């Protein structure tokens, strides 16, 4: 792939990483003379289903234009292998490098809320919110990526008993293959916050054990694992992790607003 030029425009420079649905390369947009990220599907591994998933990611993300969302610029095919041209964001994911200052976690999480607010307003549910899907730029800007599992709110429901997402972050209703709404993303956000503030996930075990726990059990409070965590954040996380979607906060916007208030209060605090 190196030095390949896609559709006479995007020159592949080097591999950035692989996983999920394909391999991501750094490329040069020779028209605009800017670096971009190109995500190519491993068609030998995923076939028609993977191709459809990748193109769905492109269509979903192309509807979004927000500073906290990785932008999609173009789509195409090379020898029947589809690819997506995206904004190149140097930096790291929250899974690769976790912040330790309390106010930094609050600030980045608030930016993820802003991305979700925008996506939900466009009728999109991300369905796979997790630290590995949040890029942090060198300037400290969080950008939500990988809408490959996103589904339009009015799309058909998956076959009964199936779900898309990552087991450790999946909402109970999503794990049971039920129809979901934006509050499923809020549950996943709560799991992500739990992990960032405590250093561990709410539930552990085999994939099936974790799914059952998501459906049936409440985890220990984050404050029981991190006594330095302010009570207001502890209560917010537990609110996000409620089993019944109706018992969670009503929107990512409201969560982001609360985080803004808390961030001002805890500006100089640290997570130990």
Query: In 3-state terms, the chain is what percent helix, strand and coil (to 5)?
Result: 40, 20, 40
**What is the dihedral sign for C-alpha 130, 133, 135, 141?**
negative
| CA gap 165, 212 in Å, rounded | 15
* Alpha carbons 188 and 204: distance in angstroms, whole number: 15
57 token code pair? 């990611």
The dihedral over CA atoms of 14, 16, 20, 21, expressed in degrees to the nearest 10, equals -30
Nearby residues of 32 by Cβ (< 8 Å), 6 or more positions away: none
Determine contact, residues 109/189, Cβ cutoff 8 Å. yes
Measure Cα distances from 159 to 164, 180, 210 in Å: 11, 13, 21
Catalytic residue among 29, 42, 128, 185: 128
Contacts of 252 (CB under 8 A, 6+ apart): 113, 114, 116, 117, 120, 182, 185, 186, 189
Instruction: Please confirm, yes or no, whether 128 is among the known catalytic residues.
Output: yes
User: Annotated active-site positions, please?
Assistant: 128
């Amino acid at each position: 792939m190196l030095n390949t030029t896609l559709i006479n425009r995007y020159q592949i420079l080097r591999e950035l990483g692989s996983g999920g649905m394909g391999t991501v390369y750094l490329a040069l947009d020779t028209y605009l003379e800017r670096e971009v990220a190109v995500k190519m599907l491993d068609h030998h591994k995923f076939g028609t289903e993977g191709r459809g998933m990748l193109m769905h990611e492109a269509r979903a993300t192309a509807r979004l234009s927000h500073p906290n969302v990785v932008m999609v610029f173009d789509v195409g095919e090379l020898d029947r292998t589809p690819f997506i041209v995206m904004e190149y964001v140097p930096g790291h994911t929250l899974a690769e490098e976790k912040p330790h200052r309390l106010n930094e976690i609050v600030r980045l999480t608030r930016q993820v809320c802003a991305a979700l607010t925008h996506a939900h307003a466009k009728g999109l549910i991300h369905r796979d919110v997790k630290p590995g899907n949040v890029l942090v730029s060198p300037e400290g800007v969080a950008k939500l990526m990988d809408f490959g599992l996103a589904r339009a709110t009015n799309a058909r429901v998956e076959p009964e008993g199936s779900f898309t997402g990552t087991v450790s972050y999946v909402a109970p209703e999503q794990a049971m293959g039920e129809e979901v709404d934006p509050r499923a993303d809020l549950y996943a956000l709560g799991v992500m916050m739990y992990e960032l503030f405590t250093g561990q996930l709410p539930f552990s075990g085999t994939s099936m054990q974790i799914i059952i726990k998501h459906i049936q059990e409440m985890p220990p409070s984050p404050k029981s694992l991190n006594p330095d965590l302010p009570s207001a954040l502890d209560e917010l996380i537990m609110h996000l992790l409620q089993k019944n979607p109706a018992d969670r906060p009503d929107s990512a916007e409201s969560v982001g607003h609360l985080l803004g208030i808390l961030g001002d209060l805890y500006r100089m605090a640290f997570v130990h």
